[in-house]
Amino acid sequence: MNAVHFRINGRGIDAEIEPRQSLADFVREELLLTGTHLGCEHGVCGACTVLVDGAPARSCIAYPVALDGASITTIEGLAQDAVAGELRAAFTREHALQCGFCTPGMLIMARDIVLRRPGLDEAAIRHELAGNLCRCTGYAGIVRAIRAVALARAGAAPLVTRGASPAPPVGPSPLTLPVSPARRAGGEAPAMAAPVAMASAAGGAFIPAPLSNPIEITEAFEVDAPRGEVWALFQDPARVIACLPGARLTQPSDGRRLEAEMSVKLGPMQAAFGGIGLIAPDPANWSGVIHGRGVDGRSASRIEARLAYRLEAAAGGNATRVHIEVAYVLQGPLAQMSRGAIARDLAARLTSAFAANLGAALKGQATPVAAAPLDAGALFLALVKGWLARLFGRG
């Protein structure tokens, strides 16, 4: 059992909770807040959506032991919320529910949509709702209801919902506040000449900060080139970015800062994360850190990441082993599609493509993996084929 303290619908909760108990089970079974519905229990259908620190989250795959200090709002906590009230009225007027099973999660997501993107059109609403499934309405009434509230708020300023309180739904975003330089595991981040703040379309001044509850991935690969040559390539942002599938520089880099875009395709969904980065090399240890932040203009999903690399001589100095550690936090609608095991396998395949491109670049050859949008769907299909091959290859 783990001792956890958080706030649920404004009420302080101190509890001893099993690490394996989901947030959905806790609020339903322990607090009797049964407005949070359980559907797929895999984070896919959206019926269990709640607000965690003001942003939508799947409670069936969230765990109270990882939410110590968080502020959580269920559908019951929005009873007096003005925007939720407008949406309830619109859902009733537009006949936007039948069985009602998906409705609590749909209302919570709809509230987030109209706050972040007031005045958005029908196509954008359907895109934003892609992670909330309904089996009986056909979505038409739901879309009309959300569209009506979005239009009524067309003159309102877009709000950052991460870190916001439900009433009023306004709060600071940790992605736009100046904070102290990050520490990485094992000590201080490599020293910079001076703190550097950057501003771009990604929003606000950017000073690297510790990531909150990131997904972390560690990979290593070997390339047939001396460590000095690999180090020189890593100091050239244009060459490094060219090795990443779907990535490109959007502005020339001075070697310390970069502006880039990475396109990702997941079935019919496409995202283009445009953002900024800071580069901090540590020549004494053949290592470095790249901090970055970006936003997808279509879904308003945000990502903040840290990539640390270390080069190790191999094969008597004729080859180099590249160690990479990635930590990232993805927020917004696209975060609903993230799964730890799948993310790690996809990252491993992306690393393999990066390694192949890096080896080709060092030899002066064309990259074997084209700089087309990263097709996560194709990578996922390869992952499934790999699982099936391992499964039926046994025995």
Residues 324 and 338 in one domain: yes
Long-range contacts of 312-315 (CB under 8 A, 24+ apart): 312/227, 312/286, 313/226, 313/227, 314/222, 315/222, 315/224
Q: Is residue 283 part of a domain?
A: yes
Residues 283 and 297 in one domain: yes
Residues 69 and 113 in one domain: no
Secondary structure element (H or E) that encloses residue 375, with its range: strand 374-375
Whole-prediction pTM value?
0.48
Taking the C-alpha atoms of residue 31 and residue 77, their distance in angstroms, rounded to an integer, is 13
With pLDDT > 70 as the criterion, what percentage of the chain qualifies? Answer: 74
Q: Is residue 14 part of a domain?
A: yes
pLDDT digits (tens, 9 = 90+) for 278-312: 888 999 999 999 888 888 877 777 788 888 899 99
Answer yes or no: is pLDDT of 267 > 70: no
Residues 87 and 137 in one domain: yes
Residues 266 and 330 in one domain: yes
Taking the C-alpha atoms of residue 263 and residue 258, their distance in angstroms, rounded to an integer, is 16
Residues 204 and 334 in one domain: yes
pLDDT digits (tens, 9 = 90+) for 83-142: 999 999 999 999 999 999 999 999 999 999 999 999 999 999 999 999 999 999 999 999
Domain boundary among 117, 137, 152: 152
C-alpha 204, offset from chain centre: 18
Taking the C-alpha atoms of residue 177 and residue 159, their distance in angstroms, rounded to an integer, is 15
pLDDT digits (tens, 9 = 90+) for 190-207: 232 222 333 333 344 455
**108 and 50 Cβ atoms separated by less than 8 Å:** yes
